[in-house]
Amino acid sequence: MTLRDADGPAVLLLRLAGPLQSWGLRSAFNRRDTGPEPTKSAVIGLLAAASGLAREDPLGALPSLSFGVRVDQPGTLLRDYHTVSDYRGRPLLQAGITAKGIQKPTSPAKHTHVTTRYYLQDAVFLAALAGPRTLLASLDAAVRAPAFPLALGRRSCPPTQPLSLGLRDGSLEEALSAEPWQVSERARKRYAARLGRERGQDGPVRPARVDCSATLEDPHGDDIAHDVPVSFDPHGRRFTSRRTRHIWLNIPSGFLEPDAEDPADGRGDEAAHDPFALLGR
User: Domains in the chain, start-ordered, CATH in brackets?
Assistant: 3-77+120-173+211-247 (3.30.70.2660), 180-208+253-281 (no CATH)
The answer to whether the CB of 9 falls within 8 A of the CB of 130 is yes
pLDDT one-digit tens code per residue, 235-257: 888 999 999 999 999 999 998 77
pLDDT digits (tens, 9 = 90+) for 120-174: 999 999 999 999 999 999 999 999 999 999 999 999 999 999 999 999 999 999 9
Question: What confidence tier does 229 reach under pLDDT thresholds 50, 70, 90?
Answer: very high
Lowest mean pLDDT, pick from 41-50, 79-88, 201-210, 211-220: 79-88
CB burial string 244-259: b at 16+ within 10 A, e below: bbeeebbbbbbbeebb
pLDDT, position 5: 54
pLDDT > 70 fraction of the chain, expressed in percent and rounded: 88
CA 136 to chain centre: 18
Burial of residue 158 (number of CB atoms within 10 Å: 0-12, 13-18, 19+): middle
Counting Cα atoms < 13 Å in the Cβ hemisphere of 42 gives: 22
Q: What is the pLDDT of residue 29?
A: 60
Distance CA 76, CA 123 (A): 7
User: Is 107 a residue whose pLDDT tops 70?
Assistant: yes
pLDDT-derived band at 260 (thresholds 50, 70, 90) equals low
Confidence at 85, pLDDT banded by 50, 70, 90: confident
pLDDT in tens, 65-77: 999 999 999 999 9
> How confident is the model over 169-183, as pLDDT tens digits?
999 999 999 999 999
CA-CA-CA-CA torsion sign (186, 187, 191, 192): negative
Mean pLDDT, the chain, whole residue set? 87
Query: With contact defined as beta carbons under 8 Å apart, do 177 and 168 qualify?
Result: no
Q: Given this model, what pLDDT does residue 4 score?
A: 41
Percent of the chain whose predicted confidence (pLDDT) is above 90: 66
How does residue 269 score in pLDDT terms, banded at 50, 70 and 90?
A: very low
Among 19-23, 151-155, 181-185, 274-278, the range scoring the smallest mean pLDDT is 274-278
For residues 99 and 106, what is the distance between their CA atoms, to the nearest angstrom?
A: 16
For 153, residues 6+ apart whose C-beta sits below 8 A from its C-beta are: 21, 22, 23, 24, 34, 38, 42
At 54 the pLDDT is 94
Using the predicted structure, report yes or no on whether residue 186 has a pLDDT greater than 70: yes
Q: For residue 189, what pLDDT is reported?
A: 93
User: What is the band of 220 on the pLDDT scale with cuts at 50, 70, 90?
Assistant: very high
CB 72 within 8 A of CB 127: no
Pick from 38-47, 105-114, 163-172: least confident: 105-114
Specify the higher pLDDT residue, 20 or 110: 20
Q: How many other CB atoms are there within 10 angstroms of residue 227's CB atom?
A: 22
